Amino acid sequence: MNPIRSGRGLIAAAAVLLFLPASLALADSSIKRIHSTNFGIDQGEIEQITAQMQAAVDGDFLNGALLLVGNGEGVGVLESVGLLSPENPKPVNQDSIFRIYSMTKPIISVAIMTMVEDGLMALDDPVSKFIPEFADAQVIDHETGATNPARNVMTIENLLTHESGLIQAIFSPNSELGQLYGSELRGDFTAREFAARIGRLPLYFEPGTAWHYGHSTDVLGAILEVADGKTLDVVLRERIFDPLGMDDTSFWVPMRESYRIAEPIHGAAMTDNTVPRRMLSGGGGLNSTAENYVRFAEMLLNGGAYRGERIIEEATLEQMLEPKIGESVSREYYFFGDVGDWGLGFHLQPTTDNSGGPYNFGWRGIGGTIFIVDQENDFYMVYMEQKWGGPPAPFDNNAAQRVVYEAMRN
């Protein structure tokens, strides 16, 4: 048992801090400004990047956006443009609240690894040890729709690497299993009820034989609940949010804070994140701010610790960053084709033309957010916007990553 985590000694103090005056809360901000030239980025390059962000707002692609680059010394780039929404004309800033969707996944993955460290589970544990409905799994035949008993046992590691055989309807909508997901997974379930329901459905492929994005991390969220005997919001608060001071990261936003929520322009309205739901989605349910996510990103950049609070051991983080898509694993459904790899909960994308690394790591959210951590170049980047559908924008989370690297290398 990690002595820092087991004590959780700052929980009461964190609760007190929530009621301190804003002036004192700012003193505890994760954002300490340093000069951008610490990252090889000059003022002219910042102005060019900001102009590109502003063009996306002026063209009515986005309401607003924020880009941040920092490291353990401080934040050298913090640029925001636009407003939260036409109905809420407040400028986007570091305390604006965004639906981070799949940027929830790395948080869940780190929480899982804290439990591995604490001996509450092992990476080779069968998923059925925690969710019995995954016992006697069946694999669907894509051509006939028939099912046959799985030869491989799905493990915790398979869930972390997206090699579990679980998919998600929106990423395979025309498959028979995708349609089955669409009909069988509707409803307001708890995390454990959802995991049990998906455990009764067939798998898309043998665990460990292919990479396919899907509900794997939702199942990990349910496993966290079972292993810790608490609901997922409590598990994350005790293991990650309270130690890091992430008091604006949660599964729903209190109504008193709703004036800080960013909204999209295009597509269907995003989830009303002020309404509590039974389903605490480990795959995509969290809301957060740039200021809060900096704490998580800096912890990862610093080898698992932030301002004296160790969340995971450095060796554990190194284990999470080992490439896991071996030659025997199909990349047919991998988002990046032959480029890069995947670790235990993070993308691994090369930072040079060498596909074998070095890598940055992180992940993105379907609502337009992204974070990356680059240990070799000693920086993290957080980009926040809210965009769901609509025409492609001239600036987005892919562009954010590209322009930061271009500026650093000029």
Instruction: State whether 94 and 128 are in the same domain.
Output: no
Match 């900001």 to its residue by tokens.
Answer: 50
In a domain, 29, yes or no: no
Helix, coil or strand: residue 265:
coil
**Average confidence (pLDDT) over 241-249:** 98
Instruction: State whether 382 and 259 are in the same domain.
Output: yes
In contact, 211 and 170? CB cutoff 8 Å:
no
On the CB side of 46, how many CA atoms lie within 13 Å of its CA? 18
Instruction: State whether 199 and 142 are in the same domain.
Output: yes
Confidence of residue 389 (pLDDT cuts 50, 70, 90): confident
- Whether the pLDDT of residue 26 is over 50: the answer is no
Instruction: State whether 161 and 93 are in the same domain.
Output: no
Dihedral sign from CA coordinates of 175, 109, 245, 50: negative
Q: Which residue, among 102, 98, 103, 66, has the nearest Cα to 82 in the 3D structure?
A: 66
**CA dist 129 → 125, 148, 154, 219, 227 (Å):** 7, 21, 10, 12, 10
DSSP conformation letters of 48-60 = HHHHHHHHHHHTT
- Whether the pLDDT of residue 11 is over 90: the answer is no
Other Cβ atoms less than 10 A from the Cβ of 146: the count is 10
Question: 166: domain CATH number?
Answer: 1.20.58
Tens digits of per-residue pLDDT, 320-341?
A: 999 999 999 999 999 999 999 9
pLDDT at 8: 34
Q: How many helices (H) and strands (E) does the chain have?
A: 14, 14
Share of the chain above pLDDT 70, in %: 93
Instruction: State whether 133 and 178 are in the same domain.
Output: yes
Orientation angle between helical segments 43-58 and 397-409, nearest 10 degrees? 160
Instruction: State whether 199 and 236 are in the same domain.
Output: no
pLDDT at 356: 81
Instruction: State whether 270 and 326 are in the same domain.
Output: yes
Instruction: State whether 138 and 71 are in the same domain.
Output: no
Instruction: State whether 14 and 82 are in the same domain.
Output: yes
Last residue of a domain, one of 184, 199, 225: 225
Domain that holds residue 82: 3-20+38-99+231-409
Last residue of a domain, one of 182, 197, 225: 225
Q: How many domains does the chain have?
A: 2
Other Cβ atoms less than 10 A from the Cβ of 83: the count is 18
In contact, 217 and 256? CB cutoff 8 Å:
no
In a domain, 398, yes or no: yes
**CA dist 278 → 79, 219, 251, 383 (Å):** 36, 15, 10, 29
Helix, coil or strand: residue 97:
strand
Instruction: State whether 125 and 76 are in the same domain.
Output: no
In a domain, 28, yes or no: no
Other Cβ atoms less than 10 A from the Cβ of 355: the count is 13
Q: Is the peptide bond before 358 cis (omega within 30 degrees of 0)?
A: yes
Q: In what order do the strands lie in the sheet with 88-91?
A: 88-91, 74-85, 64-71, 379-385, 370-374, 359-364, 347-350, 341-342
In a domain, 184, yes or no: yes
- Whether the pLDDT of residue 10 is over 60: the answer is no
- Whether the pLDDT of residue 17 is over 80: the answer is no
- Whether the pLDDT of residue 267 is over 80: the answer is no
In contact, 156 and 122? CB cutoff 8 Å:
yes
Instruction: State whether 10 and 70 are in the same domain.
Output: yes
The dihedral region occupied by 94, where left means phi > 0, alpha psi between -120 and 50, and beta the remainder, is: alpha
Tens digits of per-residue pLDDT, 349-362?
A: 999 988 788 999 99
In a domain, 33, yes or no: no
Tens digits of per-residue pLDDT, 136-193?
A: 999 999 889 899 999 999 999 999 999 999 999 988 888 999 999 999 999 899 999 9
In a domain, 211, yes or no: yes
Helix, coil or strand: residue 99:
strand
Find all residues with CB under 8 Å of 89, minimum gap 6, and list them: 83
In a domain, 31, yes or no: no
| Length in residues, the chain | 410
| Gap between the Cα atoms of 198 and 137, Å rounded | 11
Q: Which two tokens stand for residue 102?
A: 């799949």
| Gap between the Cα atoms of 375 and 313, Å rounded | 16
Model confidence, pTM: 0.93
Last residue of a domain, one of 206, 225, 244: 225
Question: 270: domain CATH number?
Answer: 3.40.710.10
Beta bridge partners of 79: 67
- Whether the pLDDT of residue 223 is over 90: the answer is yes
Q: Which residue, among 43, 27, 23, has the nearest Cα to 35 in the 3D structure?
A: 43
Instruction: State whether 191 and 140 are in the same domain.
Output: yes
In a domain, 25, yes or no: no
pLDDT at 268: 67
Beta bridge partners of 341: 348
